[in-house]
């Protein structure tokens, strides 16, 4: 069984979400210049990964869960969380989705099935597996989407979780966003499979689990593959590992520095560390957002005017989010102790 076919409205919806994520991330990045000091700590952007995010979560049905890493702005945007609340969270404001207590790395919107993230590499994988266990015993056909990076697959938690999921046939789809980097380490420098020129989805063999590798820059391919895996999970046939090949267009994260040093986004590691401008430029050429736009316009699904409107609407929306965030109050002191215990 394949997921329901994408009609034109749905395709345009997908494009719209991709543009919204892109514009949001652009504004996060620009905040470092426009409003110095407003964003603290560490942010990780999903520009370049929009197709993979949107193609995946487009399959989610009410009741499904999603858990992600610290690179987490894109998912709630596609799920419909108010971008004002997300931006305000990144700005540490009381109006943020986590009331300013979580910040960029720890977004969470349980009302939309987004159960949260971990800032510790790989540790969200067992969380998602546990949610799938809950879904299985609840027996209402919920499925879990678990997102993590290529680097996380070298974390013991990956191995332990996938084994249990396969053993118990848990309703979960593991989506590994392989962006070729763990910070500034290229995948072949740290992964035996990558070093051997293999797809990372071969790791699924160790768990007798299906493993597939897809082009994460093609939202329709992502939609279909993730959708089929989710359907399989929903039927009780167990988990799938999907390697979604992507390229993040920004550096791993903003500059890491003690208080007082202005933060900004450095150049992508391909250039900054490896001096490989070609790699980066090739990725830019393959940028999934304009690619998908061209395809939809070509196929007559959307007009250029429509695309411009979508872009303009997204820009307006994100401008509003920034303004809302900057103008929002900080949380009161007693909030710091309000959530220590439930």
Ligand X SMILES: Cc1ncc(C[n+]2csc(CCOP(=O)(O)OP(=O)(O)O)c2C)c(N)n1
Residues at the interface with ligand X (CB under 6 A):
71, 119-121, 148-152, 177, 179, 181-183, 252
Dist. CA 341–CA 202, nearest whole Å: 42
x/- binding map, residues 239-278, to Mg ion, per CB under 5 A?
A: ----------------------------------------
The interface region with other proteins, picked from 49-57, 60-68, 115-123, 300-308 by CB under 8 A, is 115-123
The interface region with other proteins, picked from 47-55, 60-68, 148-156, 222-230 by CB under 8 A, is 148-156
- As given in the structure block, the two tokens for residue 76 are 């709630």
Residue 215 found at the interface with other proteins (CB under 8 A): no
Residue 210 found at the interface with other proteins (CB under 8 A): no
Nearer to ligand X, 190 or 231 (CB): 190
> Are residues 183 and 149 in contact, defined by beta-carbon separation less than 8 angstroms?
no
Q: Name the one residue in this structure whose structure tokens are 């050429």.
A: 285
Virtual CA dihedral for 193, 196, 197, 203, nearest 10 degrees? -20
Cα-Cα-Cα-Cα dihedral sign, residues 321, 322, 327, 333: positive
The interface region with other proteins, picked from 3-11, 50-58, 95-103, 307-315 by CB under 8 A, is 95-103
Give which of 305, 289, 328, 323 is closest to 23, Cα–Cα. Answer: 289
Give which of 147, 68, 69, 70 is closest to 105, Cα–Cα. Answer: 70
- Min dist CB 181 to Mg ion, Å, is 5
> Are residues 282 and 48 in contact, defined by beta-carbon separation less than 8 angstroms?
no
x/- binding map, residues 267-306, to other proteins, per CB under 8 A?
A: ------xx--------------------------------
Residue 333 found at the interface with other proteins (CB under 8 A): yes
Binding site for Mg ion (CB under 5 A): 149-151, 179, 181
């Amino acid at each position: 069984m394949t997921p329901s076919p994408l009609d034109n409205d749905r395709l345009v919806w997908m494009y719209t979400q991709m543009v919204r994520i892109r514009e949001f991330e652009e504004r996060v990045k620009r905040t470092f210049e426009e409003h110095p000091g407003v964003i603290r700590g560490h942010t990780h952007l999903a520009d370049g990964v929009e197709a993979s995010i949107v193609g995946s979560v487009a399959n989610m049905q009410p009741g499904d869960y999603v858990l992600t890493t610290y690179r987490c702005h894109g998912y709630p945007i596609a799920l419909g969380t108010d971008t004002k609340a997300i931006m305000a969270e990144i700005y540490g404001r009381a109006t943020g989705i986590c009331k300013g207590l979580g910040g960029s790395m720890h977004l969470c919107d349980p009302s939309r099935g987004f159960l949260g993230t971990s800032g510790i590499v790989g540790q969200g994988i067992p969380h998602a597996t546990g949610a799938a266990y809950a879904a299985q015993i609840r027996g209402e056909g919920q499925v879990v989407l678990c997102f993590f990076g290529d680097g996380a697959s070298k974390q013991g938690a990956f191995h332990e979780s996938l084994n249990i999921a396969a053993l118990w046939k848990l309703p979960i789809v593991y989506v590994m966003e392989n962006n070729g980097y763990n910070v500034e380490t290229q995948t072949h420098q740290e992964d035996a499979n990558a070093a051997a020129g293999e797809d990372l989805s071969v790791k699924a063999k160790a768990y007798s689990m299906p493993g597939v590798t897809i082009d994460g820059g093609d939202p329709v391919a992502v939609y279909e593959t993730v959708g089929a895996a989710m359907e399989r999970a929903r039927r009780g046939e167990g988990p799938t590992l999907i390697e979604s090949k992507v390229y993040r267009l920004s550096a791993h994260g903003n500059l890491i520095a003690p208080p007082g040093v202005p933060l900004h986004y450095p150049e992508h590691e391909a250039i900054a560390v490896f001096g490989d401008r070609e790699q980066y430029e090739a990725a830019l050429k393959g940028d999934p957002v304009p690619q998908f736009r061209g395809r939809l316009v070509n196929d007559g699904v959307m007009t250029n005017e429509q695309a411009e409107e979508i872009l303009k609407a997204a820009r307006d929306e994100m401008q509003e989010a920034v303004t809302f965030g900057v103008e929002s109050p900080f949380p009161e002191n007693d909030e710091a102790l309000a959530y220590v215990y439930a």
